[in-house]
Structure 1
Amino acid sequence: MTRPHEDSPSPSRSAVTVFAPAKLNLILRVLDRRPDGFHNVWSLMQTVGLEDAVAIRLAPQHTEIRLQCDSHSLSSDQTNLVYRAAAAVLAQLQQKIGLDIQLAKRIPMGAGLGGGSSDAAATILGINRILNVGWSAAKMAEIGQELGSDVPFFFHAPTAVVAGRGEQVRAIHLADSRWAVLVNPGFPVETKWAYQQLSTTRQGVTPLSGRCAQLESQSRTTWDEVISLTSNDFEGPVFAAHPLLQKIKLDLLSQGAQLALLSGSGATVFGIFREEAGARQAAAFFHGRSELKTFVAKTNSGQLRVE
């Protein structure tokens, strides 16, 4: 019997645009090192309504993947995650199909917001829709895992507990929405460097708390519970190297954030606010500092969205 992914795709539409949301790490624990050299992580991840857009169009006049990006600092070749995602899908389908892809970036790069991973997930979903492949979220996440550890999460958004190298994802319901203020300093923090610093500066690995382990088994949680558990293991070494980021966190708290935290390995720091007015007032506090990029976005509103 022929497996589903070997069937010739039957296009259902010629073009789609998929909106790719940013993610925040509400909790991020870096645990033991794995035999493959990577670390196990445990994270509660949440999407927000700050989005890139991936526009995909069938191109019958050629059989290539042609990618254009509106950011000059991002390549449009085989090193781009969008290109790699498209190539991975076509390899699974064992097809050579012409695709014209346009990537509109709004999520800062190297920012701890998962922009590249979200773009890759959007590409997988978009081609799945165009070609009417019918893959499940689990199948798309499996393909995405080969591209980056954050990619599978976006097929289970808006909120999920993520473990292992990112391949273990379980959606959880986080009641109510909040408003996030994202402050990016205008420079990236390289993930590999952050892991190296963490390995050399901390004395052993603190085990995952019982409360976090319990959260993993729950079907829902609340903001009060999340606020009581929030932490990011990267803050120590990253703040030591970049004191500005710690200052941003303190400023967000002083402006009334219920919680403030580094996202991923940085460099974005975010604050969570109960009301939109409070979030926008806090964002205005940073507007006079030209080196900072500030965004206000709603939680629970950011999911892969096809138009």
Structure 2
Amino acid sequence: MTFLSPAKINLWLRILGKRPDGFHEVQTRLCRLALGDTVEIELLGKGSDVTLSCSDPTVPLDESNLAMKALRAFENSTGTKSSWRIHLEKKIPAGAGLGGGSSNAATVLMGANELAGSPLTQQQLIELGAQIGSDIPCFILDSPAADGAGRGELVTEVDFPWQLPLVLIKPPFPIPTPWAYKRWADSKEMPGILYAPQICPWGAMSNDLERPVFEKHLLLPTLKTWLLEQSEVRVALMSGSGSTMFAITESPTQAAELAAKAREWCGETSWIQHTQTAAI
């Protein structure tokens, strides 16, 4: 079977403080995008061989891959072993704050469950996903948008009637999520950069991780400022722990035009796509 494995953006990400377990308590709204990877999953029958392949040669294909972790968690939960073939056709860049790895893991959980005759309920899949990564549960819900609490894994579906056109810009460097969170407490705002919530019909958009990430990667605050200066941009923000910046426009046509301008401004080394949030 072949599945779409969508990217996500964080419409907001607020850090409430560090928890005793070392993670951070957050409040966030995650919104799926029409853009995504393609995941092929094939149940080959009895055995225990798993073949994982990927179109991106930089993606690890061993047990550290979240898709592989998801399959192992599914097997452990169901008490079954089978032979599988999984192929990841990547369009979501790694280290981008777009949830590519988490989405792949969620897709493998749901796909393996379907191919195996649905031994696990959706809630059981959500709980399994939460053990692997904080962003995974939001991709298992039926809703295109979800609010995350705890370390992000406690998800609640939200009514989201908007389909927002937007542009994604990822510079040619990734940002490790643990690094961004580790630097959050001691980071400071840079003068002249907008960190305050940007008020929109769907909520107040801000990202507390911009503070530590912008201090280190000076291109990103400059890019955010440039995006906010463009007449077609309603709001601009970093997604997750970065390094992707996104800008929401009034129309898909404006998103396409902004993507063209961004390619000129950023140069050829940045990954730039125009897309929209997922339909209801």
Measure, in 1, the Cα distance between the counterparts of 2:168 and 2:180. Answer: 20
Q: Which residue of 1 aligns with 2:174?
A: 188
Superposition pairs of residues 63-212 of structure 1, within 5 angstroms = 63-156=48-141, 157-201=143-187
Counterpart CA distance in 2 for 1:285 and 1:62 is 52
Say whether 1:32 aligns with 2:27.
no
- Mapped contact 2:133–2:153 kept (Cα < 8 A): no
- RMSD of the alignment, in Å? 1.8
SS of the equivalent of 1:287 reads helix
> What is aligned with 1:266?
242
Aligned to 1:299: 277
The answer to which of 248-257 and 173-182 deviates more is 248-257
**Aligned-residue offset at 1:146:** 1.0
> Per-residue displacement from partner, 1:71-99 (whole Å, max 9, x unpaired)?
11011111111111011101111111000
Deviation at 1:243, TM superposition (A): 1.4
Aligned residue pairs total 268
Q: Percent identity?
A: 37
| Higher RCO (CA < 8 A, seq sep 6+) | 1
Letter in 2 for 1:291: T
Structure 1 portions without partners, runs of 5+: 1-15, 204-210, 212-221, 303-307
Matches within 5 A, 1:23-62: 23-60=8-45, 62=47
In structure 2, the residue matched to 1:12 is: none
| Secondary structure, counterpart of 1:301 in structure 2 | coil
1:236 aligns with 2:221: no
Instruction: Classify 1:90/1:61 alpha carbon distance in 2 versus 1 (closer, same or farther; 3 Å).
Output: closer
Write the letter of the residue equivalent to 1:265: S
TM-score (norm 2): 0.91
* Corresponding position of 2:259: 283
Matched to 1:258, the amino acid is R
Cα distance, 1:254 vs structure 2: 2.2
SS at match of 1:174: coil
Aligned to 2:233: 257
For residues 208 and 68 of structure 2, what CA distance do their matches in structure 1 show? 32
Q: Find the residue that maps to 2:132 and give its secondary structure.
A: coil
> Are 1:65 and 1:86, in contact at CA under 8 Å, matched by a contact in 2?
no
Give structure 2 stretches of 5+ with no counterpart: 190-196
